[in-house]
Amino acid sequence: MSIISRLAADKNLSDSELKALLETNEYDDELCETADIIRRTWYGADVYIRGLIEFTNYCKNDCFYCGIRRSNKNAERYRLSRGEILSRCAEGYGLGFRTFVLQGGEDPYYTDERVCRIVSEIRRKYPDCAITLSIGEKPRESYKAYFDAGADRYLLRHETADNAHYSRLHPSGMSLENRKRCLFDLKDIGYQVGSGFMVGSPYQTTENLISDLRFLKELGPHMIGIGPYITHKDTPFKDKKSGSLELTLRLISILRLMFPTALIPATTALGTIHPLGREMGLKAGANVVMPNLSPVSVRKKYELYENKICTGEEAAECRGCLERRVISAGYKIVVDRGDNVEIRD
């Protein structure tokens, strides 16, 4: 049995086998073809869209890689009001979005009470939609309160599953242990959970990536988001190299083989490092795209990394552009919540 068939058959590959898959391009064609067969077995040609609302770029954290880190005095900060968020949902619903993703920095202005109020209003107005939160590390009680208010999914990348690497990417005070605690709490509460990591983040080794894959197996997430790390000039990593397209695509295929039913986005970061990055991501096994639903007036301000794409167009244009891209890659966008097949009724 080939190494790829064994990976697809959920056999436990050794570290040296995973290393061989990750470090050479020898298996890339077979990986990509097998990943596409598996995604079509579970999801056909369907691609799910998530309306991404970046509602605040204030952040109390100071992650070394991130453009909206607290210490970046050049970031022009903004917050969306509840009314603005709801009006983005209204526009998104009309465009066929059945998932809204509320993402932001860790902004203390949005107390649990405020978050719950926003979530419950969206839940009341759009009972047929999924509400995804991506607002960082919180105590378990906060996660539970958002869940009870109507949130059903949560995205929190673990960033790296290696302690030493984690501490090279984050200031002291942040820990991998707490990140993991959050992820397991979220799962335990009943959320559909998404985790993931940046590809090519500074100091990342192949061994770190193997730990990431093994950690994801332990967590069993419903969604896995990966994208290349991209440098931002106003961070301590301004002189570091960005991650590569090839390795990101290779990892998307590996993830599809290891997690056949996972929802895997072809991310904006992938589209930023190559004009056809998202199309290639879909062909490599991704089945989700996340068009931007934030008001155009704030888009450029949510600058996690430089040259981020899709910051100038209205939501309808973004939706139309992605529709064409998805079709050109051989798939189709569907109007659907896009839950993981394993938890559908």
| Least distance CB 64 / ligand SAM (angstroms) | 9
Contact between 215 and ligand SAM per CB under 6 A = no
Contact between 194 and ligand SAM per CB under 6 A = no
| Least distance CB 155 / ligand SAM (angstroms) | 7
Alpha-carbon distance 79 to 107, whole Å?
Answer: 9
Q: Record the tokens describing residue 314, joined without a space.
A: 């209205």
39 and 263 in contact (C-beta within 8 Å)?
Answer: no
Task: For CA atoms 261, 267, 273, 274, give the dihedral sign.
Answer: positive
| x/- letters, 305..324, toward ligand SAM (CB under 6 A) | x-------------------
**In the chain, which ranges are continuous DSSP H helix?**
3-8, 15-23, 28-43, 82-94, 112-125, 140-149, 163-169, 176-189, 206-219, 245-258, 268-273, 277-283, 296-299, 315-329
Contact between 151 and ligand SAM per CB under 6 A = no
SS3 state of residue 135:
coil
Contact between 245 and ligand SAM per CB under 6 A = no
Number of neighbours of residue 292 by Cβ within 10 angstroms = 24
| Least distance CB 229 / ligand SAM (angstroms) | 5
Contact between 298 and ligand SAM per CB under 6 A = no
Contact between 232 and ligand SAM per CB under 6 A = yes
| Least distance CB 199 / ligand SAM (angstroms) | 9
Q: How many amino acids of this chain bind ligand SAM (CB under 6 A)? A: 19
CB nearer to ligand SAM: give 2 or 178. 178
CB nearer to ligand SAM: give 89 or 226. 226
156 and 165 in contact (C-beta within 8 Å)?
Answer: no
Q: Binder to ligand SAM among 34, 134, 268, 292 (CB under 6 A)?
A: 134
CB nearer to ligand SAM: give 144 or 232. 232
Alpha-carbon distance 224 to 262, whole Å?
Answer: 7
SS3 state of residue 163:
helix
| Least distance CB 110 / ligand SAM (angstroms) | 11
Residue 227 bridge partners (DSSP) = 198
Chain contacts with ligand SAM (rule: CB under 6 A): 65-66, 103, 105-106, 134-136, 156-157, 159, 198, 227, 229-230, 232, 269, 304-305
